[in-house]
Amino acid sequence: MPVLERTQMFEGRVWSVVRDRVKFGDHESVRDVLIHPGAVAIIAVDDDDRVLLIRQYRHPVAMYLFEPPAGLLDIAGEPALETAKRELAEEAGVRAQTWNVLVDLFNSPGGSSEAIRVYLARDLSALPEGRPHTGEAEEAHLPQAWVPLNEAVTLVLNGAIGSPSGVAGILALAAVRNSQEDGLRPADSPWQPRSWLEANQRV
């Protein structure tokens, strides 16, 4: 829809908020939009069909969450797949030989432009030097849990795993496993929603 006017309401370290005056046919409305750089997440699965989760404090919800490794698309020009590889190394000390796109989602499209691409990472190995200590604050200590996929699905369904990338990624992987067809996309598949957001000043 045509944006008639945009006002910067807030500019933060990671995201900003704009107020758009939007034309819907013969009507005009005002919408506040959180402009987000986007993110990637990684469902890393080992040879025993266990999913890697890390425990991290999330200040906006004031609780610790178990969720897959993830990170912001906040380095200009870095492809999403390279961000995912870097985040898997930095947050978990793990690398993967086989990568696929698992699922794409919008986190909260009613108010935020955040788009998330969730990758599936397989054929894992630990980094010889271990996890690099690049994080600070809530990223300084990230305990790991390797959870069998079936158990991870149960944890999603009973509410114990609530991060959007964890919920979507775990259930998507379970769906792929239960399907007769391989629904996995190549790791370098086009990410059309992300391209649309970039073209429309939503990143």
The answer to whether 26 and 18 have CB atoms below 8 angstroms apart is no
Rounded Cα distance between 19 and 5, Å, is 8
Catalytic residues: 139
Rounded Cα distance between 40 and 118, Å, is 6
Rounded Cα distance between 127 and 37, Å, is 28
| Contact partners, residue 161, CB within 8 Å, separation at least 6 | 53, 65, 66, 67, 152, 155, 167, 170
